A and B are shown apart, each in its own frame.
Chain A
């Protein structure tokens, strides 16, 4: 199998490059209407967007088990999300912690079904079929270059989940069948 080449610009990007300490924001839950809006494209140099990027990372980091957070989930309908699948057992290729603006899927292949959860749908999980090999384009906050990122496995799934959020879609819109949604199990 041909491996994936990590995008060095993304892999070496650090939240510290924002020069900001983000605030922890409230995560909105479905059926909040902002989650159904198609996000506006953003100016990655806009100071407001840099603050939002820092806030997404701060909010993601204080949320147990959270591997990604999109701007609509904190009530802002724009095309920006944070992802970090570091140390997740299903991760293969990993670009660490990063934020992308205006991300678009350009190639997606090798579908697999897996169960997903979401902080905005906290009490349900669902089986979603998604490509496991993914190429997207996007822009790091504070920069202007459109980067091309290829990844696989869990990072590919996380990216597609977040890009869906930016387009007003939840995993509930993508589930694999009539019996593919489950109450989240909490063991005591």
Chain B
């Protein structure tokens, strides 16, 4: 049994998730991690699941058409080991090319990694929100200054703050 990555993108309509997961269930696929959202109104879903490659491709074939569906085998599962405490990165400002690359480059430059990210374009306003892990060895003051300089150059606002978890 392989671990598969299934992506589904296309015009949104009611029932896409039901159609896709029903087909997968018919060939014995076990859904594992998945995410779905609307991107500029396009339906977009990614699923990592366990199942047989060829039957999965065949069972999803009738759903192709307006939907772009890909099925690929992926390598063995890698458990993500946190490299440091989590932070929430928020960036917003006038839309222009290069905001995401410039800000995430600053995170990468101190050995940080992005674990979750979304961006939204709302009229002229561009908004990025990400969860990032920063190694404890990183110089946070230098990172804050670098982010501020980068944000000034881009004409956007940026905040980086610890992600708070409440243990109940």
> Which chain A residues have a beta carbon within 8 Å of chain B's beta carbons?
29-31, 36, 111, 121, 123-124, 129, 168-170, 172-181, 183
Question: Would you list the 5 A-B pairs with minimal beta carbon distance, nearest first?
Answer: A178-B116, A31-B94, A123-B122, A173-B159, A31-B93
Q: Could you tell me if B159 and A123 are in contact, using CB atoms closer than 8 angstroms?
A: no
Q: Could you tell me if A170 and B92 are in contact, using CB atoms closer than 8 angstroms?
A: yes
Name 17 interchain pairs, CB-CB below 8 A, sorted by A. Answer: A29-B123, A30-B92, A31-B92, A111-B164, A123-B122, A124-B127, A129-B164, A168-B157, A170-B157, A174-B90, A175-B88, A176-B88, A177-B88, A177-B163, A178-B130, A183-B38, A183-B122
CA distance A179 to B36 in the complex (A): 11
Q: Could you tell me if B123 and A123 are in contact, using CB atoms closer than 8 angstroms?
A: yes
Residues of B within 8 A of A124 (CB): 120, 122, 125, 127
Q: Give chain B interface residues in 109-168, CB to chain A under 8 Å.
A: 116-118, 120, 122-127, 129-131, 156-157, 159, 163-164, 166
- Minimum CB–CB distance from A48 to chain B (whole Å) comes to 28
Q: How many chain B residues touch A (Cβ–Cβ < 8 Å)?
A: 25
Chain B contact residues, majority secondary structure: strand
**Of A29, A172, A179, A183, which contacts B90 at CB under 8 A?**
A172
Residues of A within 8 A of B164 (CB): 111, 129
Residues of B within 8 A of A174 (CB): 90
Q: Could you tell me if A183 and B125 are in contact, using CB atoms closer than 8 angstroms?
A: no
**Of B125, B129, B131, which contacts A31 at CB under 8 A?**
B125
Q: Could you tell me if A173 and B157 are in contact, using CB atoms closer than 8 angstroms?
A: yes
Scoring B118, B126, B129, B164 by chain A CB atoms within 10 A of each residue's CB, the highest score goes to B129
Residues of A within 8 A of B166 (CB): 111
Q: Known: A111-B166, A121-B122, A124-B120. Is A177-B129 also a contact (CB below 8 A)?
A: yes
Q: Chain B 31-60 against A: per-residue CB contact (8 Å), 1 yes, 0 no?
A: 000000010000000000000000000000
